[in-house]
Amino acid sequence: MVFEVDHRAVPGAKLATSTIKLHGNGAWVRVETNPDGQALAPTSGCLGKAELKQLVDGLHAAPWKVTTARVHCMAMSSTFTEYQVDGKLVFTQKLCSGQTLDDKSRAAIDFAAAQVDPAAARPTP
């Protein structure tokens, strides 16, 4: 797995979730569940060699530096997003976590997510 985006919900929350996985050959698949946990029809596609190379190069060049603010809000959300590169968790995006990703890594995630699913490339909360 080259890149994975997991839109998750805390256990017990009746919310929709989705997972997008990009494979090394450029094929990607998005699997979703509705708020009741029932699987929806998956969607899929395939990136061209040039797009895949640009995406992979950007992900591998990213430093994945996470900064934690000393002061942050205490709001909690029932949803969060996990990003994985080469099967390794590189960042978890949560509302008011106080954690931010460096600009180069954020740009790599946003670019990669936009290639496999434009709805997945959301601004950092």
Residue 125 domain flag: no
pLDDT at 118: 58
Structural domains counted in the chain: 1
Among 32, 31, 99, which residue's Cα sits nearest to residue 65?
Answer: 99
| The residue type at 4 | E
Backbone torsions φ then ψ of 70, nearest 5 degrees: -70, -30
Residue 37 domain flag: yes
Which pLDDT tens digit goes with each residue over 20-35?
A: 999 999 999 999 999 9
Which pLDDT tens digit goes with each residue over 34-77?
A: 999 899 999 999 999 999 999 999 999 999 999 998 877 777 78
Residue 23 domain flag: yes
Pairwise CA distance, residues 115 & 109, whole Å: 10
Question: Which residues form the domain of 80?
Answer: 3-120
Residue 100 domain flag: yes
pLDDT at 44: 92
Task: State pTM to two decimals.
Answer: 0.87
Residue-averaged pLDDT of the chain: 90
